[in-house]
Amino acid sequence: MSTKTKKAHILRDFNDAGTERRFTAGSTVDLDEGTYANYAAAGLVSDKAPKEEAKTGSESAPKTA
């Protein structure tokens, strides 16, 4: 049985204390789905590249007069 992986864009530098892995902001790694879900819940990774998120964030922001 193979483990499904998901591409994760690292949003900020962090160390995973449990696995002792170090991740650097701006890099992209493959993570198993469970690990991805944990990191995403903590706001550490995204399935979108940072540039894509910046575009999405600015487009959805309300315009002020």
C-alpha–C-alpha distance, residues 6 and 16, integer Å = 17
For the chain, give the mean pLDDT: 85
pTM: 0.72
pLDDT in tens, 40-49: 999 999 999 8
Asked if the model's pLDDT at residue 60 lies above 70, the reply is: no
C-alpha–C-alpha distance, residues 61 and 22, integer Å = 33
pLDDT of residue 23: 97
pLDDT in tens, 26-35: 999 999 999 9
Cα atoms in the 13 Å half-sphere on the side-chain side of 13: 1
3-state secondary structure the chain: CCCCEEEEEECCCEEECCCCEEECCCCEEEEEHHHHHHHHHCCCEECCCHHHHHHHHHHHCCCCC
